[in-house]
C-alpha cells in the first residue's frame, strides 16, 4: 500500500527542518527522534502503524502525526515547499 502523505509535514528538530512525507518516515521519527512525549504521540504511533499495515489511510496517519507534532511544539505551520 502506498503510505505517502498528500503533502509533506515539516517539523523542526533543533535548528533543522525535516520533511516527513509518508507513514514509514513518520513511524521512524516517532520512535527514534521524538522530542517530547504526550498523549497524541501514542495515538500517532498507532495510526501510522495502522496505515503501514493497510488498516488506516495515509490521511488519517498524517492527521495524527500533525496533531502529535503540534502537541510537541515541533510542527512548522504554513511552510510551503517550493
CB environment 10-34: b (16+ within 10 A), e (fewer): bbbeeeeebebbbbebbbebbeeeb
All three cell numbers of 26? 513518520
Under 8 Å between Cβ of 35 and 17: no
The string of pLDDT tens digits covering residues 7-62 is 999 999 889 999 999 999 999 999 998 988 899 999 999 999 999 999 999 999 99
pLDDT at 80 (0 to 100) = 64
Predicted TM-score of the model (pTM): 0.91
Domains of the chain, residue spans: 4-72
pLDDT band at 2 (very low <50, low <70, confident <90, very high): confident
Under 8 Å between Cβ of 61 and 47: yes
Amino acid at each position: 500500500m502506498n503510505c505517502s502523505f498528500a503533502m509533506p509535514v515539516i517539523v523542526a528538530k533543533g535548528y533543522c527542518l525535516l520533511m516527513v512525507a509518508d507513514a514509514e518516515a513518520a513511524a521512524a521519527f516517532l520512535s527514534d527522534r521524538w522530542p517530547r512525549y504526550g498523549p497524541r504521540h501514542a495515538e500517532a504511533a498507532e495510526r501510522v502503524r495502522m496505515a503501514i499495515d493497510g488498516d488506516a489511510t495515509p490521511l488519517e496517519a498524517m492527521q495524527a502525526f500533525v496533531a502529535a507534532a503540534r502537541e510537541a511544539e515541533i510542527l512548522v505551520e504554513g511552510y510551503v515547499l517550493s
